Amino acid sequence: MKVNKIVLLLVTFVLVFSCDSPSSSSSQKEKQTKLLDENSMITEEQMDKLGITNSEYLSAASKRALNWPDIGNEWFIEFSGPTPLKGDLAYEKGVVRRDPSAMIKENGKYYVWYSKSTGKTDGFGGDIENDKVFPWDRCDIWYATSEDGVTWKEEGLAVPRGKKGAYDDRSVFTVEIMKWADKYYLCYQTVKSPYNVRVKNQIGLAWADSPDGPWTKSKEPILSPADNGIWKGEEQNRFLVEKKGDFDSHKVHDPCIIPYKGKFYLYYKGEQMGEEITFGGRQIRHGVAIADNPLGPYIKSPYNPISNSGHEICVWKYNGGIASLITTDGPEKNTIQWSPDGINFEIMASIKDASHAIGLNRSADNEREPTEILRWGLTHIYNNYDEQSIMRFTSKRRTSHVAKGEKAK
């Protein structure tokens, strides 16, 4: 028995020693190197470009860098700070103008639609039946025109809130425009009273034969949140849930319809019941619903969600696919992404200081280069929580970085 114990101890010692031996360490290095060898895309030039000189010692960061796609910098841009507009869309005391739609050019003029409300924002602490709980509460959709994109004339009301009891009786806001077959379509968010923190926003639609209207509204919403979450208790607390449900179980927001591959792709932002804060911020994701006709019915894609980050929808067609600017929330915020099929998106560029709630210039030649449609457009800023105004942004491609007086190669 004693001999057997001694033998067992010796074997254990040898095994432990062999695990800590130089040959074992070499084996680990070989495994790390092999990870590179198995990836035929990794070259010496790539190693040199990234400043990685020793393939035997690779940090997690280096391994991620070696797996980055080689897509160049044609998608990388920098945004300017927003600048004020002139005319009727200049800042106005006591007024909220926000969430501009894309612009289209008709009759020699740019057209834009936007959310408009007046008065201070009260929040949820008082009488929600009569107060204004958000800046986008108690909004109607208005529109304006411009010959140069700088000086604007407010033309008037386009789509009002619905009558009491309708699905859109409290607010209509965050609008987007689509022109198709000589007709015009506005999609937008809707809220039915009372506007409490658990209310489920929906999406409505209006259409007209002219950008100046008159507009016919859909009698029912064209998209609603998923109906598979369960609130916990009766308290007005949107973070208390028995079951969270789908990524869009609470709200469907920021709609945008794109004619694509013979169908109509309605992109939207989803908010989930019991929304969490993750390592990327708010748990916000995008989805898409597809229809054969602009009026619907719109069927949500089984692949939803199609992003794991984002806020306001900003999408455009490019090179047979769909591009998307992802801002504000989530681990992939501040990126431009592209999908060959409108559903499966990959990161094409990581950017900074992107404008929010962008209204694209749909008259731009968006096939000229990936980000041509972002060269200028509209955005909004918070002058304060009670007043917001629409502004203009510009952007430019950035392909080199040089010091003053230095020549780019």
Q: Are 144 and 120 in contact (CB under 8 A)?
A: no
pLDDT at 228 over 80: yes
Q: Are 260 and 291 in contact (CB under 8 A)?
A: no
pLDDT at 21 over 60: no
Domains and CATH numbers, the chain: 2-66 (no CATH), 77-397 (2.115.10.20)
When pLDDT is cut at 50, 70 and 90, the band that residue 17 belongs to is: very low
Q: Are 365 and 372 in contact (CB under 8 A)?
A: yes
Q: Write the CB contacts of 223 (distance below 8 Å, at least 6 apart in sequence).
A: 202, 203, 252, 255, 266, 268, 289, 298, 300
Q: Are 311 and 329 in contact (CB under 8 A)?
A: yes
Q: Are 244 and 272 in contact (CB under 8 A)?
A: yes
Percent share of the chain, pLDDT over 90: 80
DSSP string, 160-227: PPPPTTSTTSSEEEEEEEEEETTEEEEEEEEEPSS--TT---EEEEEEESSTT-PPEEPSS-SB---S
pLDDT digits (tens, 9 = 90+) for 60-81: 999 999 988 888 899 999 999 8
pLDDT of amino acid 405: 86
| Secondary structure (3-state) at 178 | strand
pLDDT digits (tens, 9 = 90+) for 185-213: 999 999 999 999 999 999 999 999 999 99
Is residue 191 left, alpha or beta, with left meaning phi > 0 and alpha meaning psi from -120 to 50? beta
Q: Which tokens is 397 given? A: 């491609």
Question: What does DSSP assign to residue 373?
Answer: G
Give yes or no for a cis peptide into 194 (omega within 30° of 0).
yes
Give the Cα separation of 356 and 336 in Å (integer).
13
Give the Cα separation of 103 and 211 in Å (integer).
11
Q: Are 98 and 383 in contact (CB under 8 A)?
A: no
pLDDT at 173 over 70: yes
Angle CA 145–151–157, to nearest 5:
35
pLDDT digits (tens, 9 = 90+) for 235-249: 999 999 999 999 999
Beta pairing partners, 318: 321
Number of C-beta neighbours around residue 109 at 10 A: 18
Q: To the nearest whole number, what is the mean pLDDT of the chain?
A: 90
pLDDT at 175 over 90: yes
Return the half-sphere exposure (C-beta side, CA atoms, 13 A cut-off) of residue 5. 2
When pLDDT is cut at 50, 70 and 90, the band that residue 10 belongs to is: very low
pLDDT at 33 over 90: no
Phi, psi of 25 (to 5 degrees): -60, -40
Is residue 49 within a helix (H) or strand (E), and if so which, with residue range?
helix 44-49
Virtual torsion, Cα 129, 236, 327, 64, nearest 10 deg = 180
Percent share of the chain, pLDDT over 70: 90
pLDDT of amino acid 26: 46
pLDDT at 28 over 50: no
pLDDT digits (tens, 9 = 90+) for 365-380: 999 999 999 999 999 9
Q: Give the predicted TM-score (pTM) of the model.
A: 0.89
When pLDDT is cut at 50, 70 and 90, the band that residue 265 belongs to is: very high
Give the Cα separation of 244 and 232 in Å (integer).
10
When pLDDT is cut at 50, 70 and 90, the band that residue 34 belongs to is: very low
Q: Are 331 and 355 in contact (CB under 8 A)?
A: no
Altogether, the residues listed in the chain come to a count of 409
Q: To which residue do tokens 């007709």 refer? A: 183
pLDDT at 335 over 80: yes
